[in-house]
Homo-oligomer: A and B are copies of this chain.
Amino acid sequence: MNRNKLDINYQPIAWLGNRVKILDQTRLPSQEAYLETSDYREVITAIKELKVRGAPAIGVAGAYALALGALKIEAKNTSAYLTKLRSIAKAVASARPTARNLSWAVERMEKVARKDKAIERIKSALVSKAVKIHTEEAEATVRLSRFGAVLIKNGSVILTHCNTGPLATTGYGTALGIIIYAHKQGKKVQVYADETRPLLQGARLTAWELKKANIPVTLLTDSMAGYMMKQGKIDCVIVGADRIAVNGDTANKIGTYSLAVLAKENKIPFYVAAPASTFDLSLKSGAEIPIEERNMKEVTHFRGIAVAPGDVSAVNPAFDITPARYITAFITEKGIIKRPFAKGFENIE
C-alpha cells in the first residue's frame, strides 16, 4: 500500500483556484450535493450549519474561508488590508467554538499574512498556505492512521462514535482512518457505529463511509453502546477529538464521556485519535474548553418534524469533556502517546 496515496473516491473539500467546493454533509447519505462558492461568508455559514464538519475538516474549511476573504479585500495600504483580514479571521475562527483546529488554522494563516508587505503577495501566500494546510492535514491523517492501525488486531470489533472519516478530516480520517487503514492492510475488522444523536453523524456519515470502504458496519443507538460492551462484543473504542488540553482532557462529540466511562467499567481500551492541530496545550484542563450549545430544535425536532410536545425545552451541548483518566492512549501523526501523557505531549507542537 502506498502510504501517502489517498484512495478515497470522494472529496469533502476541494480548492478550485478562486473558489472552494464543499460536499454538503447535511444531505448525506441520500444526496451527494456540493456547494461551490468564492464568498467566505458562505463558508462560515456552511461551517455553522455543519455542511462541513469534523474538527480537522473545519480547520481546512476555515483556512480556505480566510483565503477567499483575503482575495477580495480592497484596501489602500497593507495596514488597512491587514485590519480587514483580522476582522475576517475573527469571524472565521468564531464560526464554531469547540474544535481547536479552526482557530489553529486561522492563526497559521494570519502568521503568513504578517510576513509580507505587498498585498498581492500576501493574497498569494494565503492561498498557498490554505492549500498547504489542507495537504498537510490530509497527510497527517494517513500517518496517524498507520500508527493507529498497529493497535488493531486481526478480527477486531471496534466501537466508534460520530464521524471521523475522510468527510471529517479531508484525509483518511482519525478514528475511522485507523479502521480503514487496518482494513486495507488486510485485517478483518468489524465496526459498531453509534448513530450519534441529535444529528446522526454516525448513521448518516460513518455508515456511508464504511460502506464505501467495504468494511462491515452495524448501527446502534447511543444508548446501546454500553450494553454491547457489557456483553463482551467490543474489543476497543476509538473516537476522534475536537480539542485536547495539556492534561489530556478531551472534548469530543456529546456522548464520548459516557462511552469512556463505560469502556473503563468494562476494561475495554479507549483510544482518542487526533492530529496535532487538535491539541491546545495552552489549556490546563478540559474545564477551559468552550462547549458549543446548539439550537434545542436539533433535539426536539427531527428533519423539521416535532418529536416532542411543542413547548418542551431541551439542552443541546454539542460536545462533552472526557477526563484524561479514562483514555488509554492518544493516536497522532507523530505516533501513539501512552501514559504518562505529559511526556508524549512535549513533541506535539
Most chain B Cβ neighbours within 10 Å, of A223, A296, A300, A313: A223
Is A47 interfacial (CB 8 A cutoff)?
no
Taken together as a complex, chains A and B put the C-alpha atoms of A313 and B211 apart, in Å, by 11
Taken together as a complex, chains A and B put the C-alpha atoms of A31 and B305 apart, in Å, by 14
The answer to whether B308 and A257 have CB atoms under 8 Å apart is: no
CB-defined contacts of A219 to chain B, threshold 8 Å: 296, 299-300, 308, 312-315
Q: Which range holds the interface residue count of chain A?
A: 35 or more
Residue of B nearest to A197 (CB): B221
Shortest beta-carbon distance from A299 to chain B in Å: 6
Interface string of A256-295 (1 = CB under 8 A from B): 0110011001000000000000000000000000000000
Interface string of A215-232 (1 = CB under 8 A from B): 001111111111110100
Is A306 interfacial (CB 8 A cutoff)?
yes
Shortest beta-carbon distance from A289 to chain B in Å: 13
Is A248 interfacial (CB 8 A cutoff)?
no
The answer to whether A29 and B230 have CB atoms under 8 Å apart is: no
CB-defined contacts of A313 to chain B, threshold 8 Å: 217-219
Residue from B222, B265, B307, B308 within 8 A of A222 (CB atoms):
B222
Residue of B nearest to A253 (CB): B223
Taken together as a complex, chains A and B put the C-alpha atoms of A294 and B284 apart, in Å, by 46
Is A311 interfacial (CB 8 A cutoff)?
yes
Stretch touching chain B among A74-82, A94-102, A200-208: A200-208
CB-defined contacts of A311 to chain B, threshold 8 Å: 211
Residue from B30, B194, B204, B307 within 8 A of A203 (CB atoms):
B307
Interface string of A39-81 (1 = CB under 8 A from B): 0000000000000000000000000000000000000000000
The answer to whether B258 and A225 have CB atoms under 8 Å apart is: yes
The answer to whether B308 and A203 have CB atoms under 8 Å apart is: yes
The answer to whether B217 and A312 have CB atoms under 8 Å apart is: yes
Residue from B30, B227, B254, B308 within 8 A of A29 (CB atoms):
B308
Is A320 interfacial (CB 8 A cutoff)?
yes
Interface string of A300-343 (1 = CB under 8 A from B): 10110111110111111100110000000000000000000000
Residue from B197, B218, B308, B316 within 8 A of A315 (CB atoms):
B218
Q: List 17 A-B contacts (CB under 8 A).
A: A30-B306, A195-B307, A208-B308, A208-B309, A211-B309, A218-B313, A218-B314, A218-B315, A219-B296, A219-B308, A219-B313, A222-B222, A222-B223, A227-B258, A261-B265, A265-B265, A302-B302
